[in-house]
């Protein structure tokens, strides 16, 4: 009987379940800060003729994170070669599954790499790029301001230790004050809301070279996370250095619930380099929340549309890495001029670039990284874990 060659090719090209599971390690529960595979939330994942089916166990049937987790699972599985469609089945954990999750949560609480005073519900968005010169810091600062204008409590950490530029863009300066052994962020009033900013630029001169490497860089970022009185934040935006180096790997380890926003220009070459940042995130099991395209179409006073840096790079990158294109910022000299003058906060939302930034902030807060109520899902389990650990710590500290 003759062999159906097409069927043999399809079977040989089918990704094994181990590959699908590895892809799902990039899906992180934003409350527990651990991937759903390690948490035991993946009951099964199967592949058949281009379709991947994953069954995910939630802590409760009405989990507020259900939609986000379903979308994350879909995006990560679609990034696997050979997967053309995805079905996600969700159900509620049984008592044994919740007990195992509780045990994992306890281990995480005991071995957490860094301790911060902002809550577990804070959405940590690290803004990354494959290379310098794509306007990553400008995008970070503009997005932080736009989220603040929407009434959110926002922190902005300038983790580009060597190439800090946030202080100049926002027109703020140090030094940082210390109270009760904690550094106090510089606070910027944004239409009645407060944007809290921390940067190496508050501790060093603008023209002074920072010649740090490896563990010293990682330790600096850790200080800015652990030793700063951030307070209750809805969002913490982190302006990362370009590339895929020590700081990126350190942040993924210290804040596993962090999510990456990848910035690129419309240039195909820039988008190809930016894909490396997304690949690093995937290998570190960090969620890539989306892509932001900067320096897109320039609209002249005559109305003519000019594309100095090419077209389509952002959409191509988003499609290649399986993440949404959140929005495109037009090339606008007003953005650079306001940054050089330290007046980013005064940039009007009525301009073309201001409207685009506002639209991106709205999509981030409503769709890409919405705030989550602590009343459901794993949050209640975390509360129980923390209470138990506090009792254990108190017992160990008591004299015998």
What CATH number did the domain enclosing 34 receive?
3.30.300.130
Strongest mean pLDDT among 16-20, 73-77, 103-107, 209-213: 73-77
Q: Given 90, 111, 132, which residue is the final one in a domain?
A: 111
Residue bearing the bigger pLDDT, 279 or 261: 261
Q: Is the pLDDT of residue 376 over 50?
A: yes
Sheet (strand 186-190) strand order: 186-190, 193-199, 154-158, 235-239, 123-128, 259-264, 287-296, 325-330
H or E element: which one contains 248? helix 246-254
**Where does residue 346 rank: exposed (0-12), middle (13-18), buried (19+ CB within 10 A)?**
exposed
Domain annotation covers residue 215? yes
Residue bearing the bigger pLDDT, 144 or 384: 144
Do 289 and 259 contact (CB within 8 A), yes or no?
Answer: yes
Is 146 found in the same domain as 92? no
**Alpha-carbon gap, residue 328 to 309, rounded angstroms:** 13
Rounded to the nearest 10 degrees, the angle between the axes of helix 136-149 and helix 352-363 is 70
Residue bearing the bigger pLDDT, 309 or 57: 57
Q: Among residues 290, 297, 274, 371, which one has the least CA distance to residue 327?
A: 290
Q: What is the pLDDT of residues 167-194, one digit of tens each?
A: 888 888 878 888 888 889 999 888 777 8
Domain annotation covers residue 374? no
**Alpha-carbon gap, residue 355 to 365, rounded angstroms:** 15
On average, the pLDDT of the chain sits at: 79
Domain annotation covers residue 218? yes
Q: Which pLDDT band, with edges at 50, 70 and 90, does 395 fall under?
A: very low
In the 8-state DSSP scheme, what is residue 228?
B
Q: Is the pLDDT of residue 97 over 80?
A: yes
Q: Strands 287-296, 325-330: parallel, antiparallel or unpaired by DSSP?
A: parallel
Number of domains in the chain: 2
CA 11 to chain centre: 36
Determine the number of helices (DSSP H) and then strands (DSSP E) in the chain: 13, 17
Is 127 found in the same domain as 87? no
Q: Which pLDDT band, with edges at 50, 70 and 90, does 107 fall under?
A: low
pLDDT at residue 209 in the model = 52
Domain annotation covers residue 389? no
Q: Is the pLDDT of residue 213 over 60?
A: no
Q: What is the pLDDT of residues 9-31, one digit of tens each?
A: 433 456 678 889 888 887 877 66
Whether the pTM exceeds 0.85: the reply is no
Is 97 found in the same domain as 65? yes
Residue-range definition of the domain harbouring residue 332: 123-368
Mean pLDDT of 337-366: 84
Domain annotation covers residue 130? yes
């Amino acid at each position: 009987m003759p062999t159906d060659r097409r069927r043999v090719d399809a079977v040989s090209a089918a990704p094994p379940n181990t590959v699908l599971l590895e892809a799902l390690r990039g899906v992180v529960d934003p409350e527990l800060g651990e991937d759903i595979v390690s948490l035991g939330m993946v009951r099964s994942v199967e592949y058949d003729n281009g379709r991947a089916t994953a069954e995910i166990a939630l802590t409760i049937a009405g989990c507020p994170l259900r939609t986000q987790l379903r979308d994350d699972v879909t995006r990560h599985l679609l990034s696997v070669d050979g997967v053309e469609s995805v079905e996600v089945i969700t159900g509620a954990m049984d008592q044994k599954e919740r007990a195992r999750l509780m045990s994992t949560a306890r281990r995480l609480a005991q071995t957490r790499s860094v301790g911060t005073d902002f809550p577990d519900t804070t959405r940590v968005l690290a803004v990354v790029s494959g290379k310098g010169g794509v306007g990553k810091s400008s995008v970070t600062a503009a997005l932080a301001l736009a989220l603040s204008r929407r009434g959110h409590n926002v922190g902005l950490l300038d983790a580009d230790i060597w190439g800090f530029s946030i202080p100049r863009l926002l027109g703020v300066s140090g030094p940082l004050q210390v109270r009760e052994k904690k550094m106090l962020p510089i606070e910027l009033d944004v239409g009645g809301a407060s944007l809290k900013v921390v940067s190496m630029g508050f501790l060093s001169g603008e023209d002074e070279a920072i010649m740090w490497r490896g563990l010293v860089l990682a330790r600096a970022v850790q200080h800015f996370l652990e030793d700063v009185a951030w307070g209750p934040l809805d969002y913490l935006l982190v302006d990362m250095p370009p590339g895929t180096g020590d700081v990126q790997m350190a942040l993924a380890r210290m804040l596993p619930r962090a999510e990456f926003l990848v910035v690129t220009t419309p240039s195909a070459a820039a988008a190809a380099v930016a894909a490396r940042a997304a690949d690093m995130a995937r290998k570190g099991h960090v969620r890539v929340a989306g892509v932001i395209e900067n320096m897109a179409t320039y609209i002249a006073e005559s109305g003519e549309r000019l594309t100095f840096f090419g077209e389509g790079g952002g959409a191509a990158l988003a499609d290649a890495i399986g993440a949404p294109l959140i929005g495109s910022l037009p090339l606008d000299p007003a953005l650079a001029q306001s940054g050089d003058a330290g007046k980013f906060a005064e940039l009007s939302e009525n301009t073309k670039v201001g409207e685009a930034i506002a639209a991106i902030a709205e999509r981030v807060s409503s769709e890409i990284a919405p705030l989550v109520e602590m009343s459901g899902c794993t949050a209640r389990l975390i509360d129980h874990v923390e209470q138990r650990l506090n009792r254990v710590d108190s017992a160990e500290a008591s004299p015998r």
